[in-house]
Amino acid sequence: MAGAGQVLQPVVLKHRRTALERVEKFISEIYFTDCNLRGRLFGDTCSLESLSFFETSERIPYEEAVRQEFRPIKVGDSFGKTWKTCWFKIDLSIPREWAGKEVHLLWESEGEGLVWKDAQPVQGLTREGEKVSYILTDCLKEMEPHSLTLYVEVACNGLFGAGKGSMIAPPDPDKRFSLQKAELVVFNRDAHELLVDFEVLLDMAKLLGEENQRSLQALYAANQMVNLCDVTDPSTFPLAREVARLVFGQKNGDSQHVIHAMGHCHIDSAWLWPYEETIRKCARSWVTVVRLMEKNPEFTFVCSQAQQFEWVKSHYPGLYSKIQDFAKEGRFIPVGGTWVEMDGNLPGGESMIRQFLQGQRFFQQEFGKLCSEFWLPDTFGYSAQFPQLMRGCGIRRFLTQKLSWNLVNTFPHNTFFWEGIDGSRVLAHFPPADSYGLAGHVEEVSDVAMRHRSGLAGHLIL
C-alpha cells in the first residue's frame, strides 16, 4: 500500500526484440555510427608530419634499423613480401589545442607490428589481435613534448603465419601487405568505458536466456541507459554508467562459483613461422603485457617456457628487466617449470626430466624460485610418468586442456588428483572453458560456470 502522497509508477514491460535492437544499434560498428556511441569513440584527428620506411629480408636490431635509408610511403600503399620486415619512421606533432586530451597513434596495417620509442620496444600492434592504437599520452600537458619520432617494426606475416588460403597451409611467398591507417587521434576514454558497460549488458541480455532474471535486468538497464545518454554530451555518461554499476554490483549466492581470470599468451615456440619470428612474437606480446601492467595495477599474467624468457633476455634486455621487476611483485608470473611446452607422448623419461631440470634451473636463477605447477595446455597427450616426474622436480600441480578437443568422448573431470604409475599424485585442472585463449566475454564466463563438472561450488580458472 502506498504511503501518503506517494505515486506508484507502473512497471513497463518492454518488447524484447525492439529493446535489444535499440541497444545494438546504439553501439553498432556498422549502423548509425554518425550518431551512436561507437561513433564517439574517437574525436579529432591529425595527419602525421612525415611517414617513411625501408624493407629488409633480415630481422635486424633497432640500432641497425634506424641507420638505414628511409623513403616516403603513404596510407594505401603496399609493402613487403612474406617473411620480410618493414621499418616505418613516424615523425609526429600533437596539436597544442589537444591539451588535456588522451591522444593515440592509430595504426592499421597487415602484418605484426612493434612500436619503438627512445630505442626501446613499447607496444605490439596487430589488426588481427584488435590492437591498433598506441597511447601517446593519457592527458596532454602543456609542458609535455608535442613532437616526437617513433618507429614501427612490421613483420610481414599474420598472427598465425602466412598460409596461402588458410591457416595451416604452405606460405604464400608473393603476398603483399598494405597500410590502411596512420594518424593521430583524440581518444574519448569516457565513451570507451560506457561502451564496455553496454557491451557486457547486451551480452547478458542476449546470452543468459530470455527467462533469466539477470537477462531481463540487463536489458532493462541497457534500455534505460540509452534513454539517459546523449552521445553529444559526455556529462550524461556518468549517470548512465551508474545504472550499469547497480546491475554489476549485485552479488551471487554462496552456491555460485568464484571465477578467476589471469592473462596468458600462448606462443608456440615452433609452428607456422621461423624460430626468429617466435622471438619477435614474444617481444610484441610481452611488451604489451608490461604496458597493461603499468596502467592496471591489479592485472596479473602467467607465462611459461624458459626458452622464450631466454630469447627475450638476449634480444630485448630492457624489456626483460621490466619483466623481472613485475615478477618480483607477483604480477608477471613464470609457470610451467620446463624449457619449452614439450610433447607428452614421444619423448622418453630422461628427455622429460631434462626439460624440468633446465627449466627449473632457469627460473630459480632468473626469478629466485622454482615453479610449483606444470603448465602444458597445448599437447595432445600425456605420459603416465608425468606425476612421478613432476613430484621429483618440486611440482605439485598440473594445468592442461587439450583433451577437451577430443572428438570421440568427453573427459569427465575438470579438477582432480592424477595418480601416476608409481602412485605419485598431483592436483590437475582442466579449465572448463576448453580453451587457453579466452577474451572474458559474457558467453565464455557463463560457459565456464556451466561446464564445470563438480557438485560443489568452487574457484574456477578462466
* Given 172, 190, 378, 447, the catalytic residue: 378
**Contact 219/15 with Cβ under 8 angstroms?**
no
The one-character DSSP state at 399 is E
The C-alpha atoms of residue 133 and residue 56 are separated, in whole angstroms, by 24
Q: Is 91 left (phi over 0), alpha (psi -120 to 50) or beta?
A: beta
* CB-count burial class (<10 Å; 0-12, 13-18, 19+) for 315: middle
DSSP 49-110: SEEEEEEESS---HHHHTTSPPEE--TT-EE--TT-EEEEEEEEE--GGGTTSEEEEEEEES
Residues with Cβ within 8 Å of residue 236, at least 6 apart in sequence? 228, 229, 230
Count helices and strands (H / E) in the chain.
Answer: 11, 20
Residues with Cβ within 8 Å of residue 252, at least 6 apart in sequence? none
The C-alpha atoms of residue 323 and residue 366 are separated, in whole angstroms, by 11
Rounded to the nearest 10 degrees, the angle between the axes of helix 237-248 and helix 189-207 is 40
Q: Is 447 a catalytic residue?
A: no
* CB-count burial class (<10 Å; 0-12, 13-18, 19+) for 439: exposed
Paired residues of 264 in beta bridges: 302
All three cell numbers of 98, joined, read 589537444
- The distance from CA 428 to its chain's CA centroid, rounded to whole angstroms, is 25
Q: Coil, strand or helix: which one is 116? A: strand
The C-alpha atoms of residue 2 and residue 135 are separated, in whole angstroms, by 54
The C-alpha atoms of residue 335 and residue 359 are separated, in whole angstroms, by 10
Query: Any idea which residue has 608530419 for its cell?
Result: 49
**Contact 66/29 with Cβ under 8 angstroms?**
no
Instruction: Give the active site residues.
Output: 378
